[in-house]
Amino acid sequence: MLNNMIPYLKLENIAFSHAQKSFFDELNWTVEQGENWIITGKIGSGKTSLVQALAGKYYLTKGKLSYPWLEANHPEIKSTYELKRKCIKVVSFKDDSRAFDPHSFFYSQRFNSFAADGTVTVWEYLMEAGYSEYEKAHVDLIKRTGVFDLQDLERIKLSSGQSRKLLITSAILQQPKLLIIDNPYMGLDAKSRTEFNDLLDDLVENQDIQLILAGQYDVLPKCISRELELENFQIKYEGIVRKSDFEAQKTKPLAPYGKHFSILSPKELANAKADSDQKNQADILKKLKPFFEQPNNLAEWDYIFSLKNTSVAYFGKKILDTINWSVKPGEKWALFGANGSGKSTLLSLLFGDHPQAYANDIHLFDQKRGVGQNIWDIKKRTGFTSSELHYFFNAKLTAEQAIITGLFDHVYLKRQPTQQEQALVDLMMEYFGILGLKERFFQKLSTGEQRILLLIRALIKNPPLILLDEPFQGFDLATIEKAKVLLNSILSEQHTLVFITHYEREIPEIVGKRFVL
């Protein structure tokens, strides 16, 4: 029976610090027994910081953070540190397990069989979390989460969606009393999101687990009944969970191919003076457009890329099977597919990072891969961002420097930007309202803020080919709309775009073609 006199989790007048920055001030929040919460808020509102604080990653400088119910029901655990370690599990974007350290790897290593040899397998990763193939409950769990068929793969070879499933599965295997998941739906396709919600409902009902989720969502598990909305590291709303902005938004149809327009028409832009934010956005877009009138490194090509009977396999397991796809200059495509269908692998063939590109009939910019084509010629004509790039983007750079590296196709600075390049960086950051983050270190920013920077990085050199692999992950609705307006406004009929997403609502209106794996 629940004893409502004892709260499950209690924050009393707290403040935290991390990396010489203070978070929150006299924050008060109580989670009662049996309550399951969603933490919401815009990008940079403090969602991830609160999750990290609850996980003990931030230093408590003021107030009291306690777990009264856990302390009362686990008197054998004498220290708060041990209580958190044994009873609380946190799943975030980055993998912080002992079994796998992303800082030890590089981005393209995922696609290179030889470079990945000897790295931890999914089965070994699960064993570290306490998995036993002789425990029926364990086997049933990894089958339900879709991890069972991945056991023989190296951990590094998983797609973003598969990695997300593995992290969540690993946390559940450790049988926590409190499970905290930051950005729970990041990288999951529609089917996986539904199955994930069903799983969380079962865990709450049958395994006595309480949940705290944080981030954007469409539909939540039925067990989530309470919401904490943050704004500028303070509580804006606390109460019954409300309908998501995403859930309320109706799906918009794709525009006919070739119709180039902004969500804000020229007339709407001209009349935007009544709304200062909208007017500022319109003014910045007007300044940005001249930078993108014609892509840099543009030439005349019959096809931007062409794949003929393209296949990719690892140790006999096919990731792509006889794919045929050709894209002409100026076309703008949406690429769809379930988790593990090979979307990111396909883009790696185009971006020049996948060694099996040379074993296939692939033409990029009218040249066959492996026949006199320099990989850096491909990269200088291509802008790219993805979850995998984000995952392995570990360079010690400021936000501004992270963007500037997009000019050089490296993760380090080859030179200082020109005056024009610097002006473009500043305008892009101002457009997204993050100019104040210029000197902040990339690794200290929220997941959403980092994803904005990587989107700008993909666009900053104004390339003829732009490959965006789930670029809006971690974005709130307002930021998604702002990013769509940007792409709709600055990309000309000469820019070629491939846009990967699991959400119809994210597709920019300039996209008129689609390819499904």
pLDDT, position 394? 83
pLDDT, position 253? 40
Helix (H) or strand (E) holding 6: none
Q: What's the CA gap between 55 and 253, in Å, rounded?
A: 42
Tokens 């799943």 sit on residue: 91
Backbone angles phi, psi at 214, to 5 degrees: -145, 130
- 9-248 shares its CATH topology with 328-359+367-516: yes
Residues with Cβ within 8 Å of residue 56, at least 6 apart in sequence: 81, 84
**Topology classification of domain 9-248:** Rossmann fold (3.40.50)
Q: Which residues pair with 230 in a beta bridge?
A: 41, 235
Q: What's the CA gap between 73 and 406, in Å, rounded?
A: 52
> What are the residue ranges spanned by the domains of the chain?
9-248, 328-359+367-516
Total-model pTM: 0.86
Q: What is the DSSP string of 300-349?
A: --S-SEEEEEEEEEETTEEEEEEEEEEE-TT-EEEEE--TTSSHHHHHHH
Letter for the amino acid at 469? D
Q: What's the CA gap between 178 and 228, in Å, rounded?
A: 17
Q: Which residues pair with 332 in a beta bridge?
A: 497
Q: What's the CA gap between 387 and 121, in Å, rounded?
A: 20
Please give the angle made by the CA atoms of 399, 401 and 405, to the nearest 5 degrees.
120
pLDDT, position 55? 84
pLDDT, position 271? 52
CB atoms near residue 382 (< 10 Å): 26
pLDDT, position 105? 52
Q: DSSP secondary-structure letter at 422?
A: H
pLDDT, position 157? 81
How many whole angstroms from its chain centre is CA 423? 27
Per-residue pLDDT of the chain (517 residues; tens, 9 = 90+): 455 578 999 999 999 988 778 889 899 999 999 999 999 999 999 999 999 888 888 889 999 999 999 888 888 887 878 888 889 999 987 766 655 555 555 455 555 544 445 578 999 999 999 999 999 999 999 999 999 999 988 888 888 888 889 999 999 999 999 999 999 998 889 999 999 999 999 999 998 899 999 999 989 999 999 999 999 999 999 999 998 876 655 444 433 333 333 445 544 554 544 456 777 889 999 999 999 999 999 999 999 999 999 999 877 778 899 999 999 999 999 999 998 899 988 998 888 778 888 889 999 999 988 776 778 888 899 999 998 888 888 888 999 999 999 998 877 787 899 999 999 999 999 999 999 999 999 988 988 999 999 999 999 999 999 999 999 998 999 999 999 999 999 999 999 999 999 999 999 999 999 999 9
3-state secondary structure labels for all residues of 3-69: CCCCCCEEEEEEEEEECCEEEEEEEEEEECCCCCEEEEECCCCCHHHHHHHHCCCCEEEEEEEECHH
pLDDT, position 260? 36
| Assigned CATH for 328-359+367-516 | 3.40.50.300
Q: How far apart are the first and last CA of the chain?
A: 49
Q: What's the CA gap between 289 and 177, in Å, rounded?
A: 52
